Structure 1
Amino acid sequence: MATKRSRREEEYLEALYLLWKKEGVIRIKGLAEMLNVKPPSIVEYLDKLAKKGLVKYVRHELITLTDEGIRAAEGIYERHKALKEFLMALLKLPDDIAEDDACSIEHDLHDITVNRIIKLMNFFKENPDVFSTLKNIVDNAYKEG
């Protein structure tokens, strides 16, 4: 079973991961901008993540995700992507709304719920004819409502 993490911890791990993937390095300033918090708050929380073995951080140096931190962050990011894809594909939400909503709900859904959404989306990818039929039904429902 996955470790239950706080919303804040998940937000930090996901932001750290995205910065690392995008820029190759993680800096306090970039993380503060991404999370819209002040650098001292970042430093305080990085110390907590370091104590949990999720990051390596020495003040005034670059931040590094540990192997455990990378695994946790990848899992959080995969949840986010799956939820966004679900919201866009089945609810026909535009990208920006799906992004915001995925961010809002990704931390609160039970793992079983997210895993079933992922399985459903994988099923649709493997069975495009079924997805096409469902998409037509959904399209018609939105036209009527």
Structure 2
Amino acid sequence: MTTERTEDYLKTIEAVVSKKGYAQVKDVSSALGTSPSSVTGMFQKLKNDGYINYEKYGGVTLTNKGKNVAQNTKAKYGVVRDFLTVLGIDDETADEDACRIEHVLTDDTIEVLTKFMEFIHKNDELPLWIDHFRHYYDTGELIQCTPSDKENCPVHGSRKKMHD
């Protein structure tokens, strides 16, 4: 079982490596807002745990084990962030919350949430009930409109496309 800190480091290392082929202490330190000495210590721990290839003063790359953790963490983040934005959470808050939530959800919960988001995205438009929820959230007013009367429904005046 990995820790939240380990997952954040591996996800950050993967992002840097994908841009320049390797990561250095200064890259990870800057991205995570932590001291270079903390990063060096964590690099040694990650190396000992088999997550990274690391030589002191050299570049860092992920092992297959490290890549798996980084990619799984990134996927969890993406699903959670997508879910939050569909609910109407602003991008900045969704980013912050998804980064925290990604570490605590079980694999079963992530699987269900992933399937739910796949279901939502099967259509070009958000389901009508999402509009109803957003209206209820904003006003406290519960409006029930059927798909057949959506043209006359006050909630559906301007439908938002999923891909906008």
Q: TM-score scaled by structure 2?
A: 0.79
Q: What percent of counterpart residues are identical?
A: 28
Structure 1 residue 61: Cα displacement: 0.4
Higher helix share: 1
Matches within 5 A, 1:1-145: 4-90=1-87, 92-128=88-124, 131-145=126-140
What stretches of structure 1 move > 3 A for 4+ residues in a row? none
- The gaps in structure 2 that reach 5 residues or longer are 141-164
Distance 2:6 2:111 in 1: 20
1:117-141 CA-to-partner distances (Å, cap 9, x unmatched) read: 1110011112456x42222222221
Select the structure with the greater relative contact order (CA < 8 A; seq sep ≥ 6). Answer: 1
- The gaps in structure 1 that reach 5 residues or longer are none
Q: Give the aligned CA root-mean-square deviation in angstroms.
A: 1.4
Distance 1:95 1:44 in 2: 33
Q: TM-score scaled by structure 1?
A: 0.89
Structure 1 residue 110: Cα displacement: 1.9
Distance 2:127 2:77 in 1: 23
